[in-house]
Amino acid sequence: MKKFCCSKAGYKANSGVKAYSKIDTRTGCGEFVQFDVGDDGLWTVTKHEKVHNHELCVFNKSHLLRSHRSVGDNQLLYLQGLKDSGVALADGIRFLKHQSGGSPLVGFTSRDAYNSMAADTVKRLDGTDSNSLIEIFRRRQSTETDFFFDFELDLDARSMGGKSPQTIMTDQCATMAVAISKVFPTSRHRLYIWHIGENSKKHIKTLRNNKDFLDMFNYVLKYTETEAEFQFYWTRLVTDYKCHKNTWLEKLYDCREKWCPAFNKDYFSGGILSSQRSETTNHSISRRLSKTAGLCDFYSSFVSVISEWRSKENGEDFWRAQGVPAMMMEHVKLLSHAREVYTIEIYFLFEEQFMKGSACHQEMVLNDGRQQKYHVWQPDIDIIRHEVSFNAANLDISCSCKLMSELGILCCHCIRILHVHCVSSIPDKYILKRWTKKVIDGRNVNIDSMIYNVGVPPSIWVFDISRKFQRLVVSSQDSSVARKLCDEAVDDVKKKVEAEVGHVHIEECGVSSSSGGVQNPSSRRLKGERNKRRSGVIEKKYSLARGRRSAANKAALSTKGVVQSLVLENISKLAGDGYLVHPSSSSSDFVQFNKGLDDNVGVD
C-alpha cells in the first residue's frame, strides 16, 4: 500500500534551541489518501480523508508548493552552461523566468535552483574535491603527451625541464621574496611599480604635496634608463626636498635593483611593469566562480577561459594572415622588412621606434676603422645623450638604453644609426623569435591529444571538423565532378543531421548555381550618402591601444620635461656648453660629473 499525507501532517519535534531553525509548518493535519495494490497489480483508492485543519493555498500561490516545484534536467544543464560561461546563477534564473512568461510558469523557485546546483556539484565530486581533480589530471596525462602534473616532487624536482623564469614580478611581499630567492635563485625578482606608487600615498603623503616632488619621484620610478641617470636624479630628489632620513625612501633605495627599470635592462621582461596580466587572469576566472566553488569548479573555469583566449588568438592569427599593416612611411626598407617578419602588434612598436628615431640627431665621436660610436639624442628633449656602438662589418650594434635586451626590439637610437648606414633589413641576431610570425606558423597543435574528461569539447570539435571540411572543399573547387560530390554530400548529411536534431537552416550564398551570376547586394548606398567604411572591432582595438601608448608617451615626455627643467640650471653651470652622455661603463665621465654636482650642492 501507499499512503499520501498532507504536508502539514504531524508535529515538529522540539530538540532544543538552535542557532538557526526553520519555521514550524506542521499543524497535525489528518488529510490523507491511501492506495492498495490488488492481486492483479492494480492500485485502488481504499481510504480518503478530505478534511484539512488549516487554510488551503490560494491558486495564484500554488506554484510555490513543494509538490508543484522541480528543476528539470534540461533547465539544470542550461543553468550550469550559463554559469560556466561566466553568467551569474541569479541572472540565469532571471532569464529562464523571462523566457517562461513569469515566476509562476518557470516551475521552481530561486532556492530550488541553488539547491539543485549544489546537489549536482556534490554528485559530480564523488566524495572529495581534490581526488576528483587528480583523477581529471590523470586522464589528461594518459591522453596528452605534453600534459604534466604532479603533487609530489621526485629526487630531481623537474617539471619545467630545469628552466627558471627570466623575470618574476610581485608586489612588496617579504615572504614571497624569500621563497623566490630559494626556489628560483637565477631569476630576476622585480617589484610592481604601480604598487610602489600606491604605497607612496601612505608613506610619503606629505612629501607628495610638495611642488614638483611627484614629477621627480615618478621620473626615478619609471623613466630613468641607466643606473648613473637614476643615481643623478635620486640625489637631486633627496637633496632638493631634504628627505635623506625618510625611512620608507631609504628602504626603497636599498631595493632599487628590484623596481627601477635602469637596473633591469639586461633582463628580458617584455615591457611589463605592473600586475595587469595576472589581474586580468584573476578577473576572467573569478567572475565565473563564487566563494563556495571547489577545485574542480576552478579547473573547469580555467580551462574554459584558456579556450576562449586561444579562440581569440586564432582570430588574431587569421586577421594577420589576410594582409599586412599600412606603413607610415613608404619605400623604407627597414619598415618593409619589419612588416614581413614581425606580428602586427610588434610591428607597430617597431614603427613607433623608427618614427622616434627619425626625429633624433646623431654625432660620430669615434671611428677606429672597425667600430664607430655615436651620440644620439632628441633635440630640445634629451639633455643626456645615448651612446650607440656600431660595427658595419658584422652589423653588431648596441645602445646604452638597452631596450633590445629588455623588450626584444631595437631602440630608436639603434634604428637611427642603421638607417643612416643604409642597412635595408633588421639583422637576424636582433629579431626575437617570439615576436615573429614564424612562431605562430610553427605551432603544432595535436587536437587528438586534447581529449579529456567526457570527450572532445564542442569548441575544439567545431574547429577540427571545420578544418577538415575546408581542406576537402578547397581541394574540390577546380573539378566540376568533385564539386558535385561535395554538394550531394552536404544535402545527404543535412538530411541525416535533421533527423537527429531537427530542422537546420543553411543560408544560401549570393551566387546562382545555374547561371553563375552574382546577385544584387542586399543594401545599396543612397544617393548623396558618403561612402565611409565602418571601423572593424579589431581596428578599433588597435586604435585604442595606440591611443593609450601615445598618451603614455606624452605623459612620460611631460614628466621628463618638468624634471629636466628643475636641474637644467645646475647642469649648465657645471657642463657649460657641453652635454652629458649615458655611460656605457661605470667609469664614464657621467659618474664623475654626477659626483662633482653632488659636491657642488653639498651632498654627503
pLDDT at 244: 84
Evaluate if residue 226 carries a pLDDT over 90: no
Collect all residues with Cβ–Cβ distance below 8 Å to 423 and sequence separation of at least 6. 334, 395
In this predicted model, which residue has the larger pLDDT, 127 or 256? Answer: 256
pLDDT at 445: 47
Which grid cell is 82?
A: 550559463
Whole-angstrom distance, CA of residue 121 vs CA of residue 453: 16
Note the pTM of the prediction, 2 decimals: 0.59
- Please answer whether residues 582 and 386 qualify as being in contact, where contact means their C-beta atoms are separated by less than 8 angstroms: yes
Listed in sequence order, the DSSP H helices in 44-109 are 73-84, 89-100, 103-106
Q: Read off the pLDDT band of 253 (50, 70, 90).
A: very high
What mean pLDDT do residues 382-410 have?
90
What mean pLDDT do residues 146-169 have?
71
> Model confidence over 410-443: pLDDT tens digits?
999 999 999 999 999 999 999 998 898 887 665 5
Whole-angstrom distance, CA of residue 388 vs CA of residue 441: 34
- Please answer whether residues 149 and 137 qualify as being in contact, where contact means their C-beta atoms are separated by less than 8 angstroms: yes
What mean pLDDT do residues 28-50 have?
92
What mean pLDDT do residues 159-182 have?
82
Evaluate if residue 459 carries a pLDDT over 70: no
Evaluate if residue 586 carries a pLDDT over 80: no
Evaluate if residue 251 carries a pLDDT over 70: yes
- Please answer whether residues 200 and 208 qualify as being in contact, where contact means their C-beta atoms are separated by less than 8 angstroms: yes
Listed in sequence order, the DSSP H helices in 34-84 are 73-84
Element (H, E) at 347: helix 344-358
> Model confidence over 509-553: pLDDT tens digits?
544 444 445 555 555 666 666 666 666 666 677 677 778 878 888
C-alpha dist (Å) from residue 411 to 213, 221, 299, 405: 29, 20, 41, 10
Whole-angstrom distance, CA of residue 190 vs CA of residue 304: 30
Q: Read off the pLDDT band of 395 (50, 70, 90).
A: very high
Which DSSP letter does residue 342 get? B
Which DSSP letter does residue 172 get? S
Length of the chain, please? 604
Q: Read off the pLDDT band of 457 (50, 70, 90).
A: low
CB burial class (10 A; 0-12, 13-18, 19+) of residue 5? middle
Cα 247 versus chain centre, distance? 37
Mean per-residue pLDDT over the chain, rounded: 79
What mean pLDDT do residues 140-150 have?
79
Let me know the angle formed at the C-alpha of 475 by 474 and 477, rounded to the nearest 5 degrees.
65
Sign of torsion over alpha carbons 170, 171, 174, 176: negative
Q: Read off the pLDDT band of 455 (50, 70, 90).
A: very low
Q: Read off the pLDDT band of 575 (50, 70, 90).
A: very low
Q: Read off the pLDDT band of 446 (50, 70, 90).
A: very low
- Name which of 301, 236, 267 is nearest 404 in CA terms: 267
Evaluate if residue 454 carries a pLDDT over 50: no
Give the three-state DSSP class for 474.
Answer: helix
> Model confidence over 306-326: pLDDT tens digits?
877 877 777 777 667 677 788
In this predicted model, which residue has the larger pLDDT, 273 or 499? Answer: 499
Share of the chain above pLDDT 70, in %: 77
Bridge partners (DSSP) of residue 169 are 190
Place of cell 550618402: 529
Place of cell 572591432: 537
Q: Read off the pLDDT band of 363 (50, 70, 90).
A: very high
